[in-house]
Structure 1
Amino acid sequence: MKNSMLKNGLILAGFALATTAIIAVTFSGTKDTIAQQQIQKRLSILSAIIPKNSFDNDIQHSCVLTSNSDLLGTNEPQRAYLGWQNGQPSVVAIEAIAPNGYSGKIAIIVGTKLDGSVTGVRVLDHKETPGLGDKIELRVNDWILSFSGETVTTENSDQWQVKKDGGQFDQFTGATITPRAVVKAVRNAVLYVKQEQQALFESASSCELDITDAHVEEVD
């Protein structure tokens, strides 16, 4: 009986070791490909939300980590990609969190010029209800494009709400909480850049892409 148990235990241990080895070899052989795909995904997002003629530096590598729980929605460090043109600061693409989505946190990235005008917004990750809240994804609905060209100022801050709350942005039928959360997060992210732009551009690059980063919902 003991010999049988020992034999079975050795077989299971051998199987576990073999499986671990296979996984390790597979990861080693694909990690460069995964990293390259993540880099391409990041470039696609940046290209989608920031006009190429608004910067002339290698923006994906001009990246700093920054945090502000009030305006960026989390205490966790968020990436800010800094665009320069002719040696002068020009644009920022900053990640932020809408902490109060219907089904939890919504991760976004916002492109903005330094005067507070939005160049583009994309959703990075969310768990909103399919068919309702997922209309924040560009592949589902073009609602997210409504931010492009809008500007956040002290005078129009009250307009940065959904129409149900007296603002200018559409809500979704049967789903107001999700767009309300995203509108607020976009506005706050732009306000953060306006307030902290000097500190951001004076910071040394401090972030690189990690291939374990969160899943990106859409980049088109």
Structure 2
Amino acid sequence: MTRMANVVVIVVLTSVGVGVTYWLQRSSAAQIAAEQQMLDSRRLLDVLPAQAYDNQPLAQPLALIDIDLKHSKLLAGYRATKAGQPVAVLLRSQTQGYAGAIELLLAIDANGTLVGVKTLRQIETPALGGHVGDWPNRWLQGFAGKSTAEPADAGWALKKDGGQFDQIAGATITSRATINAIHDALRYFDEHRAVLLGSGT
């Protein structure tokens, strides 16, 4: 076989290899994207028990109004349903901590009770306020079961401020900001309950 023939064979084999690789990548891209989306979704939604809903909440964001709250700002909202009935609303909230923005995801059930909350982003001081980003988070789990009625407004503060909540050790500002953002989200849910649950306009 001549040198030119060898070059042609190599070029053809390379082209076929590239073509097959491209085809395989294209044919599996949708499946890979779907699986990645499911993993991302589960990571975000682990504040809500998987058996509690059967839809894909993140695929259908809610149109939120009046998103600038007293101590925080809402970035997004989602509705979780089971058998077509609303079971919870997820609110993505941002507040200002000690070192920068803290982004939270809160799950609130149809009765206005907090199911769970997790930190999605934060840049607080490591080993102090940075603990707000730990998952699972014992301190944040202490808010599960709370609502605007339990405790009453005055209770939504640190114990050192006359409220009912402990703080993250050495992180007063981070703790205050997080408590205020959670309270804001619960109040927002109460004020917009019908729209958030899809039972009103």
Q: CA deviation at 1:122?
A: 0.4
Q: Which residue of 2 is the match for residue 51 of structure 1?
A: 49
Check the 8 A contact 2:89/2:197 in 1, yes or no: no
d(CA) in 2 for partners of 1:110, 1:141: 13
Q: Which consecutive segments of 4 or more residues in structure 1 shift more than 3 A?
A: 31-39
Tell me the percent identity: 30
Query: What does residue range 128-207 of structure 1 map to in structure 2 within 5 Å?
Result: 128-139=124-135, 141-153=137-149, 156-202=152-198
Shift of 1:117: 0.8
Write the letter of the residue equivalent to 1:59: P
Pick 1 or 2: higher relative contact order, CA cutoff 8 A, min separation 6.
1
Cα distance per residue 1:115-168 (max 9 Å; x no partner) = 221110000111110111011122485211111122222861221111111112
Aligned residue for 2:64, secondary structure, equals: strand
TM-score by length of 1: 0.67
Contact 1:65 1:78 in 2 (8 A): no
- Aligned with 2:76 (options 66, 75, 79): 79
Structure 1 runs not aligned, ≥5 long: 1-27, 204-220
| Greater Cα shift, 140-149 or 113-122 | 140-149
Matched, 1:116 2:112: yes
CA RMSD of aligned residues (A): 3.0
State how 1:73-112 maps to structure 2 within 5 Å: 73-74=72-73, 78-98=75-95, 100-112=96-108
How many residue pairs get aligned? The number is: 173
- The change in CA–CA distance for 1:167 and 1:49 in structure 2 (over 3 A counts) is same
Structure 2 segments unaligned to the other structure (5+ residues):
1-24
TM-score w.r.t. length of structure 2: 0.73
- 2:65 matches 1:69: no
Aligned partners of 1:72 and 1:192 also within 8 Å = no
Greater gyration radius: 2
State the Cα deviation string for residues 165-194 of structure 1 (Å, max 9, x = none). Answer: 111211133220001100110111111122
**Cα distance, 1:91 vs. partner?**
0.6
Q: Once the 2 structures are TM-superposed, how far is the Cα of residue 111 of structure 1 from its aligned partner? A: 0.4
**Matching residue of 1:210:** none
